Structure 1
Amino acid sequence: MARTIAKDHDQKRSQILKSAAKVFAEQGFDRASMTQLARECGISKANIYHYYDGKDAILLDILDTYLRDLRDRICGIELDGAVPEDRLRRVIAEVLLAYQGADHEHQVQINAMSALPADQQKQMRLYQRDMVRFVSDTIQVTAPEVFDGNADKLRSATMSVFGMLNWYYMWNTGAGSKAREDYANLVADLTLKGVKGL
């Protein structure tokens, strides 16, 4: 007879992922053990194995859940009816707000994604590319006369925006929503007022 799924299965799974992301971020994926993960989760090691075969499976689920949800949130922003400048402001703000509370997951993405097999890394990069393409398209329509036919310039502008956002994210991890929105407006102003002169 198959074992039934507990009512709190999804909640426990989310708890394991959050706790494991903290351990992987602080200890490093290679150095982290299932014993450490169990201790951080406040459950037995045997209980973790009820959810995951090992830490490789946990790593994949952390990154897949984080990047897929981030991609869906960013690419799902409602922009209909907004002028290009307002679209860019909404997208930039949403990226910073989506990063809030995900410090450990972001560090795991940066430091441990290479531990995944090549096919799994490829899927994670597809999520990232979807987001970059969405932001790039949003930037492109703010100054089509600058970017049409110049993919290199558009890519440079797009990655510069991500660079500004990631700088803030890495150095202001405890910032609240208001501070993030204020900085998002600064990035939007720099981008909108700067692209015309590129």
Structure 2
Amino acid sequence: MARTIAKDHDQKRAQILKSAAKVFAEEGFDRASMTKLATECGISKANIYHYYDSKDAILYDILDSYLSTLRDRILDVDTEGLPPEDRLRRVIREILRAYQGADHEHQVQISALSALPEDQQDQMRTYQRDMVKFMGDCLRQAAPEVFEDAPAKLRGATMSVYGMLNWYFMWNSDAGAQERDDYADLVCDLALKGLRGI
């Protein structure tokens, strides 16, 4: 007879992923052991294997869950009827809000994505490319005269905006919603107006 799935199966998997992200971020994926993961989760190592057959499977699920959810949240932000500059401002705010509480997952993305097999890395990069393209579209619409027929300039500006957002994420992870919105406005103003415009 097949083993039934516990009612709290998804909740326990989510807890394992959250705890594993903390361990991977703090100790490094290569150095983290299943024993350490079990201790952090507060369950036995055998119980972890009930949910995941390997540390690699846990890493994949952390990154797939984090990046697909982040991508969907950013691409689904409601900008209907907004002028291009307001659309850009809303998207940048939503990115900073989405980063809140995801410190460990974000660090794992930076430090451990390369540990995945190439096909899984490609899947994660697709999520990242979707977000980069979306931000690029927002910037192009906000300043079409700057980016028309200038793909290299658009890519540079897009990655610079993400660079500013990631800097804030790395150094202000405990910032609240209003602080994030204020910084999002600063980034938007810098992108649209330059230093003399803020």
Which amino acid counterpart does residue 96 of structure 1 have in structure 2?
L
Q: 1: CA distance between counterparts of 2:146 and 2:159?
A: 16
Q: 1: CA distance between counterparts of 2:99 and 2:184?
A: 12
The residue matched to 2:166 in structure 1 has which SS?
A: helix
Which amino acid counterpart does residue 77 of structure 2 have in structure 1?
I
Which amino acid counterpart does residue 64 of structure 2 have in structure 1?
D
Matched residue pairs, number? 196
Q: How does 1:73-112 map to 2 (within 5 A)?
A: 73-112=73-112
The residue matched to 1:2 in structure 2 has which SS?
A: coil
CA distances 1:75-100 after superposition (whole Å, capped 9, x unpaired): 11111100001000000000000000
1:148 equivalent in alignment to 2:148: yes
CA distances 1:25-72 after superposition (whole Å, capped 9, x unpaired): 001000000000000000011110000001000000000000000000
Q: 2: CA distance between counterparts of 1:70 and 1:2?
A: 35
CA distances 1:159-181 after superposition (whole Å, capped 9, x unpaired): 11001101111011111111111
Which residue is equivalent to 2:39?
Answer: 39
Q: 2: CA distance between counterparts of 1:180 and 1:80?
A: 22
Q: 2: CA distance between counterparts of 1:128 and 1:67?
A: 7
Q: 2: CA distance between counterparts of 1:194 and 1:159?
A: 16
Which residue is equivalent to 1:60?
Answer: 60
1:130 equivalent in alignment to 2:130: yes
The residue matched to 2:173 in structure 1 has which SS?
A: coil
Structure 1: which 5+ residue stretches go unaligned?
Answer: none
Which amino acid counterpart does residue 72 of structure 1 have in structure 2?
D
Which amino acid counterpart does residue 162 of structure 1 have in structure 2?
Y
TM-score, normalising length: structure 2: 0.97
Shift in Å at residue 148 of structure 1?
1.0
1:169 equivalent in alignment to 2:169: yes
Shift in Å at residue 194 of structure 1?
2.9
The residue matched to 2:11 in structure 1 has which SS?
A: helix
Identity of aligned residues (%): 74
TM-score, normalising length: structure 1: 0.97
The residue matched to 2:142 in structure 1 has which SS?
A: coil
Structure 2: which 5+ residue stretches go unaligned?
Answer: none
Which residue is equivalent to 1:21?
Answer: 21
The residue matched to 1:141 in structure 2 has which SS?
A: helix
Which amino acid counterpart does residue 190 of structure 1 have in structure 2?
L
Shift in Å at residue 146 of structure 1?
1.1
Q: CA RMSD in A?
A: 1.2
Which residue is equivalent to 2:179?
Answer: 179
Shift in Å at residue 193 of structure 1?
0.9
Poorly superposed stretches of 4+, deviation over 3 Å: none
Q: 2: CA distance between counterparts of 1:94 and 1:156?
A: 21
Which amino acid counterpart does residue 91 of structure 1 have in structure 2?
V
